Amino acid sequence: MTGDHAPSDAPAPAAEAEGAAPGPATGDDAGPRRRRNRTTGSLSRRMIGIAAGWILILLVGGGIALDSVLASAITRNFDDGLEYVLTAMAASAEIGPEGEVFFNRPLADQRFLEPNSGLYWQISGIGHDHWRSRSLWDRALVVKPPHNDTEAHVYDSKEFPDQDLRVMERDVRLPGSDILWRFQVAASRETLDAQIGTLRRTMIRSFALLGLGLIILAALQTLYGLWPLRKVRLAIAAMRAGQAQRIDEALPNEVTPLVEELNALLEHNEKQAEEARRHAGNLAHALKTPLTVIMNAATAQSPDLSDTVIREATTMRRQVDHHLARARAVGRRGSAHSRAEVWPSLQAVERAVGRLYRHVRLDMTGPKTLAVHVERQDLDEMLGNLIENAAKYGGGSVFVTVGAEAGYVEFLIEDDGRGIPEEERARIFDRGVRLDTSKPGTGLGMAIVRDVAEIYEGTISLEESEDLGGLLVRLRLPAAV
Q: Are residues 220 and 71 in the same domain?
A: yes
Give the confidence band of 327 by pLDDT, cuts at 50, 70, 90: low
> Which of 316, 332, 348 marks a domain boundary?
332
Q: Is 257 a residue whose pLDDT tops 80?
A: yes
Q: Are residues 228 and 82 in the same domain?
A: yes
> Which of 252, 283, 301 marks a domain boundary?
252
Residue 268's pLDDT is what? Answer: 78
Flag whether 15 is in a domain. no
Give the confidence band of 330 by pLDDT, cuts at 50, 70, 90: low
Name the range with the highest mean pLDDT among 146-160, 202-216, 434-448.
Answer: 202-216
Average pLDDT over residues 311-332: 70
Q: Are residues 344 and 208 in the same domain?
A: no
Q: Which of 70-84, 321-335, 339-353 shows the lowest mean pLDDT across its residues?
A: 321-335
Closest-CA residue to 312 (of 326, 300, 297, 325): 297
Q: Are residues 63 and 178 in the same domain?
A: yes
User: For 169-190, how does the pLDDT look when each residue is reduced to its tens digit (9 = 90+)?
Assistant: 998 888 888 888 889 999 999 9
Give the confidence band of 6 by pLDDT, cuts at 50, 70, 90: very low
Whether 222 and 47 have beta carbons less than 8 Å apart is answered as: yes
Q: Is 372 a residue whose pLDDT tops 90?
A: yes
Q: Which of 157-166, 284-293, 388-397, 457-466 shows the lowest mean pLDDT across its residues?
A: 284-293
Closest-CA residue to 453 (of 348, 398, 381): 381
Q: Are residues 230 and 274 in the same domain?
A: no
Q: How many residues does the chain have?
A: 481
Flag whether 63 is in a domain. yes
Q: Which residues does 183 contact at the CB level (< 8 Å), separation at least 6?
A: 86, 89, 90, 93, 121, 123, 169, 170, 171, 172
Flag whether 4 is in a domain. no
Average pLDDT over residues 266-275: 79
Flag whether 1 is in a domain. no
Q: Are residues 139 and 102 in the same domain?
A: yes
| Element (DSSP H or E) covering residue 199 | helix 190-240
- When computed from its CA atoms, the radius of gyration of the chain, rounded to whole angstroms, is 50
Q: Are residues 101 and 242 in the same domain?
A: yes
Give the confidence band of 150 by pLDDT, cuts at 50, 70, 90: confident
Q: Is 335 a residue whose pLDDT tops 60?
A: no
Q: Are residues 241 and 387 in the same domain?
A: no
Q: Taking all residues of the chain, what is their mean pLDDT, rounded to a whole number?
A: 82
Closest-CA residue to 50 (of 243, 219, 232, 231): 219
Angle between helices 190-240 and 256-299 (to 10 degrees): 20
Q: Which of 239-243, 346-350, 404-408 shows the lowest mean pLDDT across its residues?
A: 239-243
How does strand 371-372 pair with strand 361-365? unpaired
Q: Are residues 311 and 371 in the same domain?
A: no
CATH number, residue 455: 3.30.565.10
Q: Are residues 423 and 474 in the same domain?
A: yes
Stronger pLDDT, 167 or 12, i.e. the higher one: 167
Flag whether 177 is in a domain. yes
Strand, helix or coil for residue 404 = strand
Share of the chain above pLDDT 90, in %: 36
Closest-CA residue to 9 (of 416, 342, 310, 358): 358
Stronger pLDDT, 141 or 243, i.e. the higher one: 141
Average pLDDT over residues 376-403: 91
Residue 434's pLDDT is what? Answer: 45
Flag whether 16 is in a domain. no
Single-letter amino acid code for the residue at 58:
L
Closest-CA residue to 117 (of 137, 138, 97, 101): 137
Q: Are residues 248 and 115 in the same domain?
A: yes
Residue 126's pLDDT is what? Answer: 85
Q: How many domains does the chain have?
A: 3
447 — alpha (psi -120 to 50), left (phi > 0) or beta?
A: alpha
Q: Are residues 392 and 450 in the same domain?
A: yes
Q: Is 193 a residue whose pLDDT tops 50?
A: yes
* Domain boundaries, position 206: 43-252
> Which of 311, 332, 353 marks a domain boundary?
332
Flag whether 24 is in a domain. no
Flag whether 12 is in a domain. no
Report d(CA 295, CA 273) in Å as an integer. Answer: 32
